[in-house]
Each structure stands twice: as C-alpha cells, then as structure tokens.
Amino acid sequence: MAFNLFKSKGKLGIDIGTSAIKIVELEKEGGRFALKNYGLFEFKGSNNTQQAGGESKQVQNILKLPDGEIIWGIKEVLKKAKIKATNVVASIPSFSTFATVIEMPYLSEQDLAKSLPFEARKYIPVPLNEVVLDWSIIDVPPVQANKSTMVEIFLAAVPRDETLRYQRIMQGAGLHLRALELENSALIRALLGNDLSPTVIVNIGGRSTSVVIVNRGYERLSHNYEVGGFEITKSIARSLNVSLEKAEELKKKMGMKEVDENVINSAMKSLIDMMVFETRKTITNYEEAKNQKISRVLLVGGLTNMPSFANYFQQKLGREVFTGNALARVVYPQTLAPVTQELASIFSVAVGLAMREI
Ligand SMILES: Nc1ncnc2c1ncn2[C@@H]1O[C@H](COP(=O)(O)OP(=O)(O)OP(=O)(O)O)[C@@H](O)[C@H]1O
Ligand SMILES: [Mg+2]
C-alpha cells in the first residue's frame, strides 16, 4: 500500500562494491543536495559462506554472488536504514566497462549521433550488439561548426547482459533502476563537481585500487589493479600470526603511524609502495602522452582512512595529495560531523550516483 503523500522525493545511489553494498539517499533542497539516509551491508561468513571446518571466511567478491543474495543484501540495508525512496541510480564497476575519449569531426549533434556507432566499432573490443553505448560531447563548439571542427567525445560501453542483470537485481529488491552509470563517472561527479583541472583520483577499495586520470570533468585514462585493503589485512595477519579480524582492527587503529610499537608498519609498506608506484606510473604515462601536467592528486576509498595514510602516500609519491571529499557539496546533520570524513571516503561512488539527474 503506497500513498504518494508519503513517498520520499529522495534518490538512491547504490554502489555494489566487491566488499560491500553501499546506499546513499540524497534529496535536492533549494538547489543543494541534502543527505537523507545511508546504509552499508557487508557480507560476512556466518550466513552464506561457512567453510567445511566451521571457520567463516570473507566473501571474495559480492558481484560473483547469485543475484538472490545481492537482492537480500540490498533489502537488508533498506530495512535497517528505513529507506522509503525507490528511484535508483546504480554503478557498474570499472572492470566490466569500457571507456575512452575519441576525437571526431563535428557538424551537428544529429550528424554525430548517426556516425558515432560506426566510429565506436574501431574502439570497442566486442561486437556492438553485445553492449549498450553511451557518449557525451566534452565541449560543444560555441560557434557555428564547419567541416574541420573536431570535438572530443567521451565514449562508454557496458555489456548488455550486465545491464539486464542490474535491472533484475533492482527489481527484485522492489526498486526502480532509473540509470546505470560507470563507477568512475559517479566518483568524478561527487569529488570534482564543476572543477575542470587535470586531476588523478586514487580509489583504494577492498579488493582493488583504481587510478583514474580526469581532465575537463571526464575520465581520460584509468588503471585498475587487484590489490586493496583486504590484501593489506591478510599481510598483517600473516606476519603477526593473528586472525584476519585482529589484523583488520590493527590496520584501522595503527595505520602507518610512525611510532616504535607500530609492528604492522612493515607488513603493509611494500603493498602501499606498490599503490604509489602504480599511481606514479599512470600519471607519468598520461603526462608524457598528452604533454600536460596533472595538478592534483585525490585519495578516496575505505583504506585512505587509515591513520597517517595520506602523509605516507604523499611522501612516497613526492607530490602533494589531498583527501577527496564527496560530501563537500552536501548538507548533512551536524551529529554526523565526527564521522563525515570516513563516510565520504566509503560512500563517494554512491553519493555521485545519487547526485545524477534522471
Ligand atoms: N578506518 C579505516 N582504516 C583503514 N582501513 C579501512 C578503514 N575503513 C575501511 N577500511 C578498509 O577499506 C576497505 C574497503 O574500502 P571500500 O569501502 O572503498 O571498498 P569497496 O568499494 O567495497 O571495494 P572495491 O572498490 O574494491 O569494490 C576495506 O579493506 C577496509 O578494511
Ligand atoms: Mg569501491
């Protein structure tokens, strides 16, 4: 039973990460976004992955679970956070999408729409009937275009099967999927807004790290690799011979603090140095290829909350780094102030999704 009177005007951003499902509800109030609600669901061993020996193990990757379990997880968040809104923008993880920037002659938008699929074939490594194409013109020429006017186009493709799967999942959870978006595009909206300067976003999640170069508000180059917070926890557990739970606790408490008793430091250093190395390599590749300087480094993702992490990263990288703040343009209750930094870093993709116009 639903009377429109009680229906929330809010919009949900749903980010199904490898280690957790994150939901944010934003409402637009007088031109500004307001945080209405949020919730997170982590799959733990107890209810779905009991190993033979009785020892529970962490789910390796939520996206590999059957749809039914993901639906159940989403419903749990909705229930616990008492979320009533049903309009959803969801993200597709970068590893299952394709994105690039191409240049094409520009006469008119209609003309471009006609010729784009032919051009796209050259760049997209799978048959076009297996993907859903999306594109936007980065800068529409301000004056009357002529035959030699070229424009940059952001081109994205998502496997059709994946889009159908997300539709089924959201429907199963009683929600309306209004748009599906690339994870990195949501991240860019939440962190950069209208800022057009060349930036690198380093997103360190549970299972993976992505390094995304953004210029004029669009992803230009991205590099994903399979090391994230979970590998770091495992490394601490191994070298100190403690449980994963204990290692996770130490990671969050001690982080990279330069103190004598910080025995976990060395267990993490080589993995973090690798993240720095991958970041530097991606920046250099871009700067050399485009002959353009990256002016800013932003860190996001759960792991960046670790004590002294940003400091260590900055020292190793040899460039100034900043912590990205997805809630910078969002109004939230003052009671959340002490935890907003952590919230912002974990929910950054979900915030960007909920900000999308539908
Ligand atoms: N305060 C903290 N200190 C250190 N690490 C933290 C903290 N909070 C969360 N993490 C770590 O962040 C990781 C999860 O980050 P995040 O929520 O960004 O991942 P995800 O989006 O689910 O995963 P992925 O992006 O790989 O799909 C976990 O490894 C967790 O241990
Ligand atoms: Mg993530």
Identify the nearest ligand to the CA of 64 by its number. 1
Q: Cβ neighbours of residue 250 under 8 Å, at least 6 residues apart?
A: 236, 240, 242, 264
pLDDT computed for residue 59 by the predictor: 66
Range(s) within the chain of domains with CATH label 3.30.420.40: 194-323
Spatial separation of the C-alpha atoms in residues 141 and 154, rounded to whole Å: 15
pLDDT in tens, 278-326: 999 999 999 999 999 999 999 999 999 999 999 999 999 999 999 999 9
pLDDT in tens, 66-117: 999 999 999 999 999 999 999 999 999 888 899 999 999 887 888 888 999 9
| Cα 145 to middle of ligand 2, angstroms | 40
Ligand 1 atom nearest to CA at 251: 4
| Cα 314 to middle of ligand 1, angstroms | 19
CATH class (in words) of the domain with range 194-323: alpha beta
pLDDT computed for residue 108 by the predictor: 84
* Statement: residue 15 has pLDDT above 80: yes
Rounded to an integer, what is the distance from CA 145 to the centroid of its chain?
36
Contact 3, 338 (CB under 8 A): no
* Statement: residue 54 has pLDDT above 60: no
The CB of 305 under 6 Å from ligand 1? The reply is yes
The single residue listed with the structure tokens 């979900």 is 350
The CB of 217 under 6 Å from ligand 1? The reply is no
Determine the average pLDDT of the residues in 188-198. 94
* Statement: residue 268 has pLDDT above 80: yes
Contact 33, 11 (CB under 8 A): no
Of all helices (H) and strands (E), which one includes residue 161? helix 160-172
Range(s) within the chain of domains with CATH label 3.30.1490.300: 98-159
CATH entry, 98-159, from 3.50.50.60, 3.30.1490.300, 3.40.50.620, 3.40.33.10? 3.30.1490.300
Strand partners, 203: 210, 300
The CB of 16 under 6 Å from ligand 1? The reply is no
Which residues, by Cβ under 5 Å, contact ligand 2, an ion?
17, 205
